[in-house]
Amino acid sequence: MKKIMQLVVAGVMGGLIVLLGIHRFLPERTSDVPEHTVTNPIARTVSNVPLKASFDFTAAAQKATASVVYIQAQESDALASQKMKRYRMNPFEGTPFEDFFNGQMFGNPSYGAPLYKLKGSGSGVIISNDGYIVTNNHVVDFADEFEVTLADGKKYKAELVGKEPSADLAVIKIEADDLPAVEYGNSDDVKVGQWVLAIGNPFGYLTSTVTAGIVSAKGRDLGIIKGDRAIEQFIQTDAVINPGNSGGALLDVEGRLIGVNTAIATHTGYYNGYSFAIPVNLMRSIVDDIIKYGSYQRTSLGIYVMPIDDEIQQNLSLDTKNGVYIDELVQGGAAQFAGLLPSDVIVQIDKKAIKTIKDLHNAIAMTRVGDIIQVTVIRNNKEKTIPVKLTKAL
């Protein structure tokens, strides 16, 4: 028994010596089990760099909400009467039956027929301390009487300063001082994916509503503004807007105006996921003219242009079809005076790429009469940049 105990003790001691030796002299082994099932969580951060975007929009909302107003627009009795006369003309006018049918079948308001006055509402943004307000043309175009309600509830009558249907912009003015004008941002600096805020008055009763989203795309041409001279280069966002938000503010996270909310993509008439705003840089170029001159002063390069087709590409040995081909110059126009030539291909304006005629129109729309722009053309297979002083379009 004594010998057995000695063997057991010797075995235990030998085992301990072996274990201590392994721990001391062999390298440490790692587990074959996947790392996240041993000690680490499944989800983890991939960077410790602080995020640059602010997810607290309270400061931006407080800063800008006071600059967004509620606009009620309607036809006056006089305008409604003119409309009825225009659309319900008496076919018997100038005959013995004229007086009999006036006011009976054809609703002549002078005979007591009811006036049907159009009414609507939308949003606007205060852009100057002395009362100038920008909004969409479609908010005010049908009306001649306007009432503006500020965020603090004060109400003012407003007058139409001017409008530009081709860009769906208009300016109205109230008589007031020391108003909270919005701070301008720079829409050229807007990036796809950045956070934005929308402030407006959806449905006419949810006043001063703030929503948030991101920029989904830039430079959208939707074809919703009619006419050959339409100017469209919308900022697309997924910030929620609805009827009544038109003319309201699209803002960056610092509360600076980067666009005027104008439209939504929808099959129902209500928000379906995407909304569109006029870039503030385009808005300013048009609105400044409206305030100064009463209307938008279009600029002109003085050229007739064509898209680059296969024949032009081959004749000029061009690498791509990107660019705009100058087919003809206007006599005495800005381009002729600056030295542009027929067969030049415009590829840049102020270092911004011009790939299509629409790009050219949009670039010129951002300018003012008298501006000097740098036009880069391809001539004889070489790039040449020519300064052009813009003139007023006829």
Report, as residue numbers or ranges, the catalytic residues: 138, 168, 246
Mutual orientation of helices 280-293 and 357-365 as an angle, nearest 10°?
Answer: 50
Element (H, E) at 326: strand 324-329
| Residues 316, 311: Cα–Cα separation, whole Å | 9
Element (H, E) at 215: strand 209-220
Q: At 376, list the tokens.
A: 């880069």
∠ Cα 126 269 194 (to 5°): 55
In whole angstroms, what separates CA 197 from the centre of its chain? Answer: 12
314, amino acid identity: Q
Provide the 8-state DSSP code for 270: S
Q: Are 257 and 183 in contact (CB under 8 A)?
A: yes
- 381: phi then psi, degrees, rounded to nearest 5: 65, 15
Q: Strand, coil or helix: what is 132?
A: strand
- 69: phi then psi, degrees, rounded to nearest 5: -120, 165
Residue 14 burial class via C-beta count within 10 angstroms: exposed 0-12, middle 13-18, buried 19 and up: exposed
| Residues 371, 304: Cα–Cα separation, whole Å | 20
